[in-house]
Each structure stands twice: as C-alpha cells, then as structure tokens.
Chains A and B, each alone.
Chain A
Amino acid sequence: MTPEELEDLVLTNGHPKEVQAAFWNMAEEDRKKLSTAAQKLHSQLSRGKANAGASERLKAATGNGVQSGWGTWNSAETRRASLAVFACGPLSAVKKERFHYDAAHGKAFAKIIEDRKPDWIDDWLAHELEQEWSHLDFDTIRKWIKIGVCQKPTVDGYYRKFADYLMGIGFYSWNGETVQPISRQLLADPDLMDDIEGLFRVETNAFNTNSWFQKGASDEWETWTDALLKLSAERHYSRDKLLDHAVTGLRADIKQNQLSGYAKFFKAMKPTKDELLARQGAIIDLLCHKVGLVQKFAVDTLAKIEASATFETGHALRELPAVFAAPAKGTAISALKLLEKIFKRSAEKGAPDAAALEAVIEALQHENGDVQAKAMALLSDHASALDEALWDRIEDAAGFIAATHQRAFAELLAKSGRASDAPEPAPTDTQNYEALSEDLLANEVLFEEDRIEPIATLDELIDAAFHAVEVVDSPDEIERIIDGISRLADQRPADFDQRVAPMLHRLSDRSLATAQNGLATASIGVGDSVRAFVQSWASGELKGPVKGHLKYYSKENTFVPIIGHLHAMAQRVVQGIAKQPLSTPTHRGGWIDPLVWVERLRDRADEPGALGSLDLHRSLIRLAPDNRATALQMIEDMLGNLGRVARFALGGEVRPAKDDAKHYAAWLCAARSCDPTRDWSEEFAVMRVEDTQPGGARPAHFTWRTSHTKESYEDMRWKNAHLSYEISAAESDAPSSTPAKSLLSFGRSLLGKAAEPDWKSIPTIAANGRVERSQFGWSELLSVWVAQWLFYVWPQDATGAYFRATSSLMTRIDEDTSSWSPSHGYFDALFVRGRPWGEGGHLVLCLGLIGKDADAKGLAIDAMIEGIENGAFQPTRFAQIMQKLSDAEWVKLNRLGASLTQVAQTSPLHANALSQAMQLWLPGFDFAQRGAFHVLESLSEAQASSGLPLSQALRDNLATLKGAGKAAKLAKTLLSTAN
C-alpha cells in the first residue's frame, strides 16, 4: 500500500472493516513504511486543518479549518485514520490515541490488533486503562489475553473494568439478554477467579453500595458481595482468602467509601470467633488506621474476641491509644468499654494491666468531654493501681480536660494524694458581667485607634483609587477616597491624565473587570454611583450610573441620599472646585467627631443653600456622642439658621420655629442627632409639615415574628424558616398632637400644612424605609463593603440596617458560605465599640450563631466574645430573642450549641455573661426539642467556668427532663453539680 492508497482508503466513505482488511496479513516492515503517512493523515483530519502540501481531496475533507472541533475530531474519516495508526503506528503514536469507537469501528479495531499482534500492546493497554473513562471493552481484553495477543494487565484500571463489567452496571440487559449473575460468570471463566484479589487492593465499584446500581437489574442479579459469599459457600473460592483479602484491603490508604465496602463485606462473611482470632494481629494493627470507620471496625471486631484465652491483649493495649487521637466519640467510647472488659478480666487475676491504664490515660486527651469523663471514671475505679509515673501522666493531661470536667479531674487527682495543678474556676464575684447602657448617646464611641487618616496628597489619592477599582477593603476606604477627591479636586497636574489613563481604561471596559468586590465591577446602586464619581474625577467629565435603576435588583433606600450627594459632589469636582465635605467620618464606624465637625461647619457659615445640602443632612446623623458639650460651646457664636440647627443637633436649647419648615430636612436630621429615638412630633408641630414616615418626627418602631412551614418531597421532609418584620412610626406615649392619618390629609388643606417631606433628602427616613425587593434577589448588598456601609450611614441608630440584614441572613440560614452571596458583611457593625446593639443587633447576632455560613458564624462568635468584653452584649435581649426564635421550632440547636460553647470557653467573664443569658432564656425552653442537649452542653461549659448558681426557675425546668437521653443526663449532672 502506498501513502496515496492509504489516503484513498481513509477518505473513501466505506465500512471500517475495509481498513482492517487492507492491513490484514501485512508484514510489520510494510506497516512501518506507512506509519508516518497514517499519523500525518490522522493529525490533519482530527484538527480539521490540512498541511500546505496536502492533496485537494484531503483539504476538502478537513474543511480547511472551517469545521474544526468535535465534528472533524469525531468524523468517520478521522476514525478510519485512527484505525490506520493502530494498524501501522509505533507505541508513541498510539499512546496519543484514546479508544473512542462505535461498535463497528470497535470490532475493526479489535481485529486489527489481533491481526497485527503489536509488540507495544501491553504498554498501550497499561496506558489506556489508566486513563479516565476508558471505553475499551473488558471482553475484548479478555479475548486478547486468551489468544495470546497480550499479557493480563496489572494496572489498576484492569480491575476497575473487571469489577464493572461483571456487574454490568447500567447495562443489565442488552438486546434482550440479561446480565448473568457474577458468580455464574466467574464459574464460566475460572481464570477470572485470580483477579478477585485485585478487588481488595484497587479502588473499584465492587463493594460500593450505591442503590442506583440495582435499579433495573433482574432478580438474579448479584452484587460482588452476594457472588463472593456464594462462591465461598459452594467452596469454589477460599473463604479464608476472602477474609484475608478484606482485612488487607482495610489497611490501604484509599477512599473511605471503599474501606467501608471492605468492612461491610467482612461483616457479611459472618466470620467465626476462630476466624477472627486467626486474623487478630492484622485487625489490631487497623487500630492505627487514619480513617475513623476502620478504627471503629477494628474496635468492634476486637470486642467480639477479647474474652478469648488466645486474645493478644498486650498487642491490643499497645495500639488502642491510637483510637483516642482520632475525633470520633463513638469509637473512643467503644474502645474504653473494651478496656473496661480487659480491666475486669485482669482484676480477676490480680491487679489491672498497667498498659491498660496507660491506654485509658491517653483517652483523657480526647476532644470529647464524654470520653474524658468515662476515662476519668475508669481511672478513678482503679486509682489504687496507679503508680507515680502514671499519676504524672494523668497530671500532664490537665490542660486537655474540658472545663465541665475539671471538678471531676480534681477529684481524680485527689486520689493520688497530690495537690492538683488544674486551674480552679475564678471566684464568681470578680467575674460578674455587667452590660453597657442601651442609651444610644450614653457611651463614648471615639477611640484613637479607630481614627481615619484622611488622604493627604494627590499621589496617595491616585494609589488608593487604583486599588479600590480592583478591591474595596472597607467602607472607610471608600469614605477616604470620596473625601480625598472632594478636597483635592483642584489638583490636576500636567501628567494627571496620563497617570489615571489606566484606571479609566479599566473602568470603561467592564470585560476587563474580574474582582467581585472592586469598583470596576460595581454596576448597581451606590457602588455604581461611587464608580461614576471616581470616573468623573479622573476624566473631568460628569459620569452617571451606567445602567441606572434596574428592575432586577433590590433598591436599598438607605443609600438613595448618598447617591444624590455623590452626584451633587461630582458636578463640583468636574469643575475643579475643591471642598471639605461635612459628612466625611473621622472615625471608624461612620462617626464624626463633633469638634472636627464644627470646624468644618464654620467654613460653610456663609454658604447659600447649606441647610438644604445632603452633605449637611448626612453629617448631622453621624455626630458622635463624645465631645458634644465642648463642640456646642465652640459654636455658640455661629449666626444664622445653620448655627441654630447645629446647636440643636449638639443638644442646645434651640428648637425649630414656624419659618424653619423650609429647612425641615435639616431640622429633622438635627433632631435625630440630638436624640435618635425620641418622638419629636410635638416640637415639630409648629412647622406644620405632615410627617408620618418612620424615622421622621416620630422614631421608627420595628416588630418581628418568626415561624416555619413544613415541606416535603418524596421521602424527604424539611422545615422552611421564616422571619418577617414591620416598620411603623412609633406611637407617642403622650396624647398625640397629630390626628389620625385619614384626618390628616383632610386637615392639611384646611390648616395649610406642607406635604410629606421627600424621604430621598432625609437619610433617617430613607434608612427606615422598606426595601423594594426584586424577585431576582440581586442586591447591591452582595458587595461586602456595601453591606458594611449600610450600618454606617446613620451610626447613631443602625436598627433599620440590622433589620434589613435579617432578611438577607434568613435567606441563607441553612446554606454554606458563599462567595457569590456573602453574609459576613452584616456583622462588621457589631464590632463598633460603644454603640449598643439593641434588639436588631442582638437578632443579627443570634442569626449568625445559628446559621450554617461558617464566615458569618465565626464573626458572630467573635462579636459575642468582644461584645461581652466591651459590654454591648445584653443577656436579657439575647434571652428574649432566643426564646422567640426557639419557640418557632426551626433553630438548629447543634449549631447554636457549638457557637455558645466556644464563647463560654473564652474566659470566666464570658462564661458568666453566657450563664446569665441562658438562665434567663432556658426556664421557658422546651427541652423535648431535638438536639436540646447541645444547648445544655453549652450551659454546662458556662456553669463550670462561671460558677454561677442555677436559678430556681431553670432548676425546675431541668427537673422535668426524664429518661436516659443525653439531655436528661446532662440535666441531672447540672442539677447535681449545682447541689
């Protein structure tokens, strides 16, 4: 055959067997002569592009690169060329080929190999079988082995094919023929029996217990376990061998499901005691396996033979401690029970075995308190047998003992006659927790370490802006950039355009943006407005939001005044007018030092329109409670309405008059600064403005409720948790000076009252507005820094932001951490020192503690720890909220318990605060709830470290717990300890 004839053979649309026939009986020398041509042909066809010197026919067949891709790679011509490569190519060429033929090509392929008997077949088979998803048929391999074309492969892939093929996974019937039971197939081809050993060495599907394997199978279909049990029962295969294989398989360092399959197979064999004893050495060695289920298998198996006279006690005692280094509680308890039996037996002969005592001492280091308790009980029972060296080792374990068991540990050590080194709980009276006042203006919030350093130079501003385009580190950084741009807007050196050109390039082409948290990708809401502001400054041209308002995302009312403010500033910035904004925070958390604020304000004294500016309104509600008296003194001489508003905001005696209605927004923000939660409607009535919105003259009032609905699908049952809240304008305690709303609109025309103020210019109303949630769930709060910023718009009262956060947290309460929908941004506000959390903050805290999101949970735990240290945590609030949440019966108590235990372990003070909170919450708690013991574990930890007595109400509720469940046992321990 010439290369041209080969090309003709491949390109002519014929049956694949024609290729096989063409090479049949061809000498190896002649094949080699065609090798290069076949490879070139195949290469050009598979990539869909002919070489420059290729024939016109080949060029046409490849489509000249137009049709490259799956179509050309998988075309009939390419397949025939591939067959030709196998018919005449060397190993290096066929290794590049994967077996991916249909039935006709597959038959031709098998025949070509049988005809040629290539010397590379073993190497190629080993290579092919080690590839993922090899389609080479096991039947073909078996045939080749039988007729001497190849050796039996030794690679793992061979055993995977062996396991799958005999099971017939997915193809239980083919053309009316059902798959024969495995045992029958093995008996029909006894050589395959030799391969059974490989199933216990290689990861295969043989012992997987996936239920879908059996779907569609005939009644006589067998699993490998069924088949091997049958073969051994009928003495076709050695039972001893199978047991040995299974134990050997368990030693392997392979996937857990595979190991589980071996363990199940071994159990299914129902080994006799003698059979177990014959393998006890290997089983004991399994105690050191790193996989928990193998350790459990070993402990459980040894428990069946430990009473035997030939049980290798010494060997077992030597390896048992390894079990206590692993986290599994059940296995560790089983191991201790095994040791207990060994103790009993050794006690019958005299003193307990020292090695057994040593093994128990290792259990003191186990991470689970129940294991530690059981180990202590065992050691206590055999204290008289402990020598000095063993007591030393027990003492060394002191640091590992859980707080709840320190008392028992001290009692154990007391039996040694030595003094205990275990830390005693600190006296309760010195660790008593006291929370801060919940008065929003009572606490200091300005700390030196929280001071925000303003951007000083244009270089610094450009660097900061470049970084923010890629990543926004925090809302404070955004505030610094906005402030810097506003103050340095008049600085445009000659090379300015060149310096910012890469930034504009980046901002103008969204396809370049990759970071989710940078301005380059901000396309909605306030993030988009900040991006437009930066772009306006850099380009010198006013830029607006790219997409404007989208119906696909939830509009956060809180940010609407900021968006307006940014646009107003941008108009000034593009004109190169520099100005110090009033609303730039001086400290972390959005706070403005009143001393700095009044200095800024002096520069605005003569500015027309200052009272109507969003900058002023935003600044008023950011004034910190600190330094107000001094600031008030500094501004006593300030003339005009601006001075009056400022003095009112800082707590001066000034009050609005009738003519101030035209500056209603400024007076309202000043009032909320003066007292964020007071009802100002009486003082404001004089301005004759209809104001019924929450956060206006009357403060916002939040009410929330929670419940669950039960859902099901087939066998699955689950609960959907719900939490909703309502916002209303709080009713005044005093007789209202404002008539009912229906009368208001009627009376307004008679009394000449102004219409409702525009909430878009009043940040306190915006911050308490309902959010128009989009059905698509897309929200600007998906950017972490935007979610964090939500709480700093009105730092004096973040209640609205907290409740807004609860909506987002609830949608992901049972979801893992997500990069796309992060929740952790909502917890940043809980770390603002001095600001009371209130009900909203405590609700966010609780949702974090009980949620699944690891990032949110971690921050909630940190917040609680820090909140206890700085007094923001209120035990009463926590108890009320947890009562309400747990009554709704959807709270996952295991998550809550784990979180609270971490808090309790931090220090005696934290334990004390938690104990106070839990003692307020738990008297009304339904301990019959699933997982209630997790809560009691936390309480035990808190009680052990705090030493607080249990309240009678809680004792009474604990006393209702009966039975032998975990919760009942814990309750009993708690009550007895308290006694």
Chain B
Amino acid sequence: MGASLDFTYQYAFPSGVAANDLGGPQVSLATCNADQAKPYFFDGTLRKPRMTGEMLYVLSEVVGTHFFLPVPPNLDPVLTNNENLLRLEGFSGCCGVYARVDLPEGVFEGDCHGRGTTNVDFNTDMRAALLRLRDDEQVEFAVGADEVVLSKGDQRTVEKKVKLPLRWIKGFSEVQAYMPRLDLKMEVPAADALRFLRSLPKAARPKRPTYAISSGRSIRASQRETPGAVPILGTHRVKVIEPLLLRAKTLKVWADDDSGASAWEVCYDVGSFFLLISPEVYRGFSGEGQVLANLANPPDESVVAQVRASLKWQSEVDPADLAARLNVATGDVEGALAVLGSRGLAGYDAGGAHYFHRELPFDLGKVEQMQPRLLGARKLIEANKVRRVTGDDGSGTSIYEVEGTGTVHRVRLSDSGEACTCPWFSKYQGQRGPCKHILAASLMDQDIAEKGAMQ
C-alpha cells in the first residue's frame, strides 16, 4: 500500500433512515469535517425520494468499491451545500471512478442552515434503507443535525478510523482537471442506454477498450475505435449506473479524446448522476499528471489568492464576471480556478461548463508535494541535469537536453506541444500528462523567460 494519511471520521450519530414523528421515513445524513466540526446544512423534505435514494445508493456503491482488487474501502462521500444545490461526490477506492449526485432545488424543499462541504456517513443499514424509499410517501431529509438534537446524546456516535491513501486525495482533486476537457458525444434515451449497458459483458470481460458508439439515434457497444466512439476500459465500472436508468430520462455520454477518460451522466427531469471513469481500470486519476502543467506553470499566486477569496460556496462561478470584479484577465481567473480545482478547492460541472465552490474536507496542503513527477523534475534541475540546447528563436520552439538513465533525452517545447525522447513520453505521447523531463525543461524555460523579462 502506498502513502496514506490517518483520518478519523467522527459522526455524532449514524446516518440512516428512521421513522419520523409522523411515522414516515426520515433520511438523516451525519456530517463531520477534518476539524471534527459537524455542520448542519439542511432540513426539509424530498420531492423525489425514490430517485434520490437510488442515486445515493449508487454513489455509495462507487465509494465502497475498489474496481480491481477485492478490498472494499471504508471511505465516505463528500457533500457540498451550494446555493440551492446539494452535491454529493465520491471517489472509488481504486481512485479510478468519480461519482457526483446533483440535487437541485426541485428535488427537495426546506431550510438551508449553512453552506460548505462535509463528509457524510454512509453505513450498511442506511444504504439498504435508501433503496426502500418510495415516491408516494413524505420523506424528510436532513444533512447534519441541530444542536438540540445532538445535545440529547441518545444516539451512539460513529467513529471510523481509516487510512486515506494520498493517491485517493490527489485523484479526487485531479479529476477536476479532466472535467473542462470533456466533450458531449451523445445523448440517448434511458431505455436505449439501459439496453446498451445490459449488452456489456458480465463475466468474460474484454481486455481491450470497449467503445460506446452511436447507432442511429441509439447507442451500442463496439470493440472498434471509430470517430466519435467513447472508449471504456473496465465495462463493469460503467455498469454501476444501470439501476438508475430505469427511472431516468436520458444518458449523456462525455469523453476527453486526449486522455481517454469518459463520463456518464444519468439525467432525470430534475437532478442528475455523473460518473467519470479513468482511461484504464488499473490507472487511477491520481497518476495521470493532468494537473502537472498547471502546477508547473501556475498563474500568479496573487490571482489565485484573489480568486480563492472570492469563492463563497457558489454553485456556479462565472470567470468573466469574477475577472471583471477582480480586474484581472478572464484567462487568469480560469487558470486560477484550475489550480484551485487541483488543490481540492473547487469542482467543475461539465454539464453546465462552470466551476463551483467546494473544499474537500481533508488536509490538502500537500497536494502539490504529492506529485512525484514534479518533484523529480525539480530534482533534475537541482542536480544540473537540464541544459538548454536552443532557445526560442522566434520559431516558437526550444530544445533542451535532460540527463536520463544511461542516456540523454531531448525535450522539445513548442507552441504546438511538447515532446521528449524518453520511453514514458514515447509510449503515451502526452496522454498521461508531461514526463518529468518535459516538466524540468518547462520549469527552466519559464525561469529563463522570467529572468529575461526582468533584464
């Protein structure tokens, strides 16, 4: 097992579905944060209990699953209370599947007692009860509990000591780098989507990617890569949304052609379930290095700080509006949001094409330090193993030599993209982020450019 942080979920009570004073069901989600605060966010009723219950159940399935090892993780989802929108996010134990439940206003009604992000307890009894919620009953719903309830102390507290793998926290942040790059590939009726998912192999699974392709106005599985095809490696990871399609309206399929990541959004009349899967079963999002370029070449830290200070749990952050208010360029705000996303301080909604404010309730101070490739790049510079061969002579291209194992690699930095002669880059062609040689060359290039500007 890799590096991990000891973390204790301390809940004032176990989440669950119990009978309320009127005899109807009451869904209570227990909350706790990294500082052991137990926020009380919401109290009201659900308008779509069955749909909500099923979505939360599938979310808990994702969070409680390691998709390639038989080691069920004991991690909980994260809930953010934005303006008129509750979002629950979860990340699989293998760090390759991200799930988000969006519950907008139409799904519930009630009183908002606060905004913010918190861990929420998902336990076995509650999970089972979620599937028994029905639309014909008045279901009360609370996130957290007020002081009066907590002070009664008549419920047992819940304490779960877990090891949060660093790659899990890192991946949870890194998925936000994929979101803005997703393109909507197709939207199909739920019945067609369900037929498609049911056609995916259950037992004998393919080792090569299966592709979701448009077939008329429908969708079908294929083993061939054709234009517009959405790759899926590990079809069992997508099948988790199968139960949701019985009551959904449509399925939107998103993909990032460069990386091979795909997203599957189950859309209801109101509300949605969003599932993002990594390009391969054995590749978690943490190792993808998609944020490395941002971390290696971040926008000015003062802009990042200004943007962060402007985040007030908005469900939708408009970069142009923020740029005008802060008197900085829109591109800088977008860059700052990407950096904040990679630090777990903002999420991205691909459907709405906007960021939203949420802060992962973990110690995120070391996210950047968790990037081994960036560390490797800095070590190469410190050891004087990076040398500029030719600078940008107006052609937009710089060449660097970087010492590798037993050979010297050549790095080309240009406006059309970077390239390196190392096996990593040769194999993945940048699909899994830049290699440490490119990062080292970029850092040096940036340093040279800054020094040049100062002179």
Contact = CB atoms under 8 A, between A and B. Distances in A.
Contact of B410 (A399, A498, A817, A818): A498
A515 B427 contact: yes
A322 interface: yes
Interface in A371-392: none
A902 B199 contact: yes
Contact of A858 (B221, B243, B421): B221
B248 to A, nearest CB: 12
A356 B275 CA distance: 34
A288 B131 contact: yes
A841 B199 CA distance: 25
Contact of B426 (A469, A818, A858, A906): A469
Interface string B218-239: 0011111000000000000000
B448 interface: no
B421 A859 contact: no
A288 B223 contact: no
Residue of B202, B215, B224, B406 most packed against chain A (CB within 10 A)? B224
B243 A367 contact: no
Given A499-B410, A854-B205, A253 B124 contact: yes
B366 interface: no
Given A506-B423, A817-B204, A858-B210, A327 B406 contact: no
A501 interface: yes
A884 interface: no
Given A285-B128, A470-B426, A501 B243 contact: no
Nearest to A824: B208
B216 interface: yes
A501 B204 contact: no
Contacts of B132: 285, 288, 318-319
Given A365-B246, A906-B220, A466 B421 contact: yes
Given A365-B246, A466-B421, A855 B223 contact: yes
B205 A817 contact: yes
B408 interface: yes
A861 B222 CA distance: 8
B198 interface: yes
Contacts of A365: 194, 246
A503 B421 contact: yes
A252 B123 CA distance: 11
A418 interface: no
A47 B236 CA distance: 43
A400 interface: yes
Nearest to A509: B406
Nearest to B54: A325
B210 to A, nearest CB: 7
Contacts of A518: 427
A854 B191 contact: no
Contacts of B427: 467, 470-471, 515, 518
Nearest to A471: B427
B189 interface: yes
B422 A367 contact: no
B408 A502 contact: yes
Interface in B415-446: 419, 421-423, 426-427, 429
A512 B408 CA distance: 15
Nearest to A401: B191
Contact of B131 (A322, A816, A905): A322
Contact of A400 (B194, B206, B407): B194
Given A817-B206, A854-B204, A858-B206, A907 B216 contact: yes
B124 to A, nearest CB: 5
A847 to B, nearest CB: 15
Contacts of B204: 816-817, 852-854, 857
Interface in A828-884: 831, 852-855, 857-859, 861-862, 866
A466 B419 CA distance: 11
B428 to A, nearest CB: 8
B404 A502 contact: yes
Nearest to A365: B246
Given A466-B426, A854-B204, A862-B224, A502 B198 contact: no
B283 interface: no
A481 to B, nearest CB: 13
Nearest to A367: B198
A695 to B, nearest CB: 30
Contacts of A325: 243, 246
Contact of A327 (B189, B198, B246): B198
Contact of A819 (B207, B222, B419): B207
A463 interface: yes
A252 B194 CA distance: 28
B66 interface: no
A514 B124 CA distance: 43
Contact of A498 (B127, B128, B408): B408
Interface string B49-64: 0000000000001001
Interface in B17-66: 61, 64
Interface string A298-333: 000000000000000000001100100101000000
Interface in A487-537: 498-499, 501-503, 505-506, 509, 512, 514-515, 518
B252 interface: no
A318 B198 contact: no
A31 interface: no
Contacts of B404: 502
Nearest to B401: A498
Contacts of A116: none
Contact of B124 (A252, A399, A470): A252
B192 A399 contact: yes
Residue of B199, B201, B202, B423 most packed against chain A (CB within 10 A)? B423
A804 interface: no
Nearest to A468: B426
Contacts of B208: 817, 824, 855
Contacts of B401: 498
A399 B224 CA distance: 26
A251 interface: yes
A628 interface: no
Given A319-B132, A506-B423, A906-B220, A854 B410 contact: no
Interface in A397-419: 398-400
B185 interface: no
B410 A502 contact: yes
A288 B222 CA distance: 33
Contact of A501 (B192, B408, B419): B408
Contact of B223 (A400, A514, A862): A862
B68 to A, nearest CB: 14
B107 to A, nearest CB: 20
A362 B243 CA distance: 12
A325 B201 CA distance: 18
B416 to A, nearest CB: 11
Contacts of A907: 215-216
A618 interface: no
A289 interface: yes
B409 interface: yes
A509 to B, nearest CB: 8
Contacts of A502: 404, 407-410, 421-422
7 contacts: A251-B128, A290-B61, A498-B401, A502-B422, A854-B205, A855-B208, A858-B222
Interface of A: 251-253, 285, 288-290, 318-319, 322, 325, 327, 362, 365, 367, 398-400, 463, 466-467, 469-471, 498-499, 501-503, 505-506, 509, 512, 514-515, 518, 816-819, 822, 824, 831, 852-855, 857-859, 861-862, 866, 902, 905-907
Given A817-B207, A907-B216, 16 more contacts: A253-B124, A318-B134, A322-B131, A466-B426, A502-B407, A502-B422, A506-B407, A817-B204, A831-B224, A854-B204, A858-B210, A858-B222, A862-B222, A862-B223, A866-B224, A902-B199
Interface of B: 61, 64, 124-125, 127-128, 131-132, 134, 189-192, 194-195, 198-199, 201-202, 204-208, 210, 215-216, 220-224, 243, 246, 401, 404, 406-410, 419, 421-423, 426-427, 429
